[in-house]
Amino acid sequence: MKVLTYHNIDTPPKEAKLKTLYLKPKKFQRQLWLLQRLGFSSSSAEKFNLSEKEVLLTFDDGYKDFIENALPVVKKYRFRATVFIVADLVGKYNKWDWRKLNVKKYLMDWKDIEYIMKEGIEIGSHTLTHPFLTQLDPKEAIKEIEYSKKKLEDRLGVEIKSFCYPYGDYNEQIRDVVESVGYKNAFTTKEGPFETEDDPFQIRRLTVFGNMDIFRFGWKVVF
Ligand SMILES: [Zn+2]
């Protein structure tokens, strides 16, 4: 199975740094079209299927542009998707990196999240505040991992089974905390496919950058 990582599905604003985190909606649509043509179907983060022809679409951070620019395309091609939410910043903006990126990117509010859930999108946790987990005091790190799960569950009324490490930053202790507080799997930023023998708490993904053309995208997904 291949897990794809997306951030913003939108045209980057002029002042934004690191514009490759934005993928234009047209390009996103072409990618899902290609996946469908190549015979891929999509899995759920909570219960995935490890076949070679399986993709899992993941969206980090819970940006508001998901609703308008990603959801209709995901639905059109009958794919599934998982969005990782920063639980204390719901309805706010990317407080963790807006200075570095020179842009405030708005995050979905609770109503938005309830709406996309109704449309079949799965929700996972991306901590409370998007810190570098290995740099925190262990107590604080546990809070970020455990309380974000609780907060999302209390607010949304579903079990939150998937976790995503902010910045892909984790170590063995962090990984073990994620498992011990009740998540079923966790996603990293390490590049590669996910295979049967791999640790479900260190799932590798393929990051889709905005400057990737459709051939590179296809190559990455197939090989
Ligand atoms: Zn993130």
Q: What's the pLDDT band for 130 if we cut at 50, 70, 90?
A: very high
Q: Rounded to 5 degrees, what angle do the CA atoms 181, 185, 187 make?
A: 115
Measure 127 CA to ligand 1 centroid, in angstroms.
9
**Distance set, CA 175 to CA 37, 90, 114, 178 (Å):** 36, 24, 28, 5
Measure 43 CA to ligand 1 centroid, in angstroms.
21
pLDDT on residue 163: 98
Task: Spell out where the chain has E strands.
Answer: 2-6, 8-9, 22-23, 41-42, 54-61, 81-85, 122-125, 162-164, 185-191, 203-207
Domain limits, the chain: 2-222
pLDDT on residue 2: 93
User: pLDDT by residue (tens digit) across 51-96?
Assistant: 788 999 999 999 999 999 999 999 999 999 999 999 999 999 999 9
pLDDT on residue 44: 77
Q: What is the CA radius of gyration of the chain?
A: 16
Measure 7 CA to ligand 1 centroid, in angstroms.
8
Residues for the chain: how many in total? 223
Measure 190 CA to ligand 1 centroid, in angstroms.
14
d(CA 109, CA 112): 5
What fold characterizes domain 2-222? Answer: TIM Barrel (3.20.20)
User: pLDDT by residue (tens digit) across 166-217?
Assistant: 999 999 999 999 999 999 999 999 999 998 899 999 999 999 999 999 999 9
Burial code (b: 16+ CB inside 10 Å, e: under 16) for 18-41 equals ebebbbebebbbebbebbeeeebe
Report the largest interatomic distance among the alpha carbons of the chain, rounded to a whole angstrom. 47
Measure 205 CA to ligand 1 centroid, in angstroms.
13
Measure 5 CA to ligand 1 centroid, in angstroms.
10
